[in-house]
Amino acid sequence: MTITSPVPSAASTDPGVFLSVEDLRVHFPTDDGLVKSVDGLTFDLRRGEILGIVGESGSGKSVTAQAILGLHKGSKAKISGHIWLDGQDLVPASEDDMRAVRGSEIAMIFQDPLSSLHPFYTIGNQISEAYRVHNKVSGRDARKRTIEMLEKVGIPNAAARYSDYPHQFSGGMRQRAMIAMALICEPKLLIADEPTTALDVTVQAQILELIKELRNELNSAVILITHDLGVVAETCDHVVVMYGGQAVEKGPVADLFDVPEMPYTWGLLSSMPRMDRVRQTRLTPIPGSPPSLIQVPKGCVFNPRCRFSDRVEGNRCFTVHPDLLPTAPGHEVRCHIDPEERRQILLTEIRPNL
């Protein structure tokens, strides 16, 4: 496979950028071969912005989040590239350095709140512990702060629920408790990995509303990892679409939904049923299944499932790995098809069937 490492964009010198991921690669050696979970990912994030990372299972979105948090340190994973957080590179940082960063600078909300809360300790205990690790405060102050946080995330009767155990909370309340824990040190970067996937739509709406409110209040940067394009449309400012460990399209949220240009993004948009449309005859699935990350397809990662590879001359989809190239301000696409032709295909073949 030809490895084309995109030159780090000039944006990383932009003073507004808070988190800058440059050519991040996370590879896991296994008995079956090298698993390239993330392979050359680059993106920037500013304070107060919500970035959505979308993709199917195995596209590398969660591994990216774990790499930013330094959770692969001490494992066999091979990590290269840079993760600049406010000027500090987290890739070479030691485990001890990371421990100071985690919780206070970066916090994470996981998908399944029941398995990320300890069943033996009370909710209040677990949240205040996070606060006391990073701040020299008395137990009483930590308790007061925890109750404040629980109130802020909308837990009724917070003072009384402080000593409840996780099993006494409902799914939505546990996720709120996790958010309270993540936000108690007012992190500058919040990573939410599928925060609402296990929740009902009504609770999902409450949690997304809460994340947006807290973003406005603390001016944090947020990375929202999800497979639900509806959640992205509702919450995010920018989107990265990942496929096979790579970003295949990224741009402002309006561009991605109005003028998507990558065949995979088209596939995602047309394969989901739309609640706001009268029923079409059939859904248009993406044929096949996601690629193996051990034997990544040669050329474009998406070529085995792409309907449009015959639009490119000389079989380049199967031989040359396309670069992520700008097509409009802030909008980048990894595809060999000529940009003019892509827009034409979108108008004539994709849009009418959406």
Looking at this protein, which amino acid is placed at residue 75?
Answer: S
Stretch that binds another protein, among 10-18, 96-104, 272-280, 295-303 (CB under 8 A): 272-280
User: Does residue 242 belong to the site contacting another protein (CB under 8 A)?
Assistant: no
Asked if 233 is part of the footprint of another protein (rule: CB under 8 A), the reply reads yes
Give SS3 for 52.
strand
Structure tokens at 178: 């996790």
What part of residues 194-223 is at the interface with another protein (CB under 8 A)? Answer: 200-206, 208-209
Question: Does the protein bind another protein through residue 257 (CB under 8 A)?
Answer: yes
Rounded-to-integer distance, Cα 325 and Cα 337, Å: 12
- Cα 321 to Cα 12, 15, 77, 230, 294, distances in angstroms: 24, 32, 24, 30, 16
For another protein, the closer of residues 7 and 160 by Cβ is 160
**Which of 219, 128, 117 is CA-nearest to residue 169?**
117
CA distances to 19, 43, 106, 270, 348 from 100, rounded to whole Å, are 17, 24, 10, 44, 53
- What's the closest the beta carbon of residue 352 comes to another protein, in angstroms? 8
User: Which DSSP letter does residue 346 get?
Assistant: I
Give the x-and-dash track for 57-96 against another protein (CB under 8 A).
Answer: x---------------------------------------
**Nearer of residues 107 and 346 to another protein, judged by Cβ:** 346
Does 112 sit near another protein (CB under 8 A)? no
* Residues 134, 129: Cα–Cα separation, whole Å: 9
Q: Considering only 109-117, 142-150, 217-225, 249-257, which stretch makes contact with another protein by CB under 8 A?
A: 249-257
- Which residues contribute to the site for another protein (CB under 8 A)? 56-57, 156, 170-173, 200-206, 208-209, 227-235, 253-255, 257-259, 267-269, 271-279, 282-287, 289-290, 347
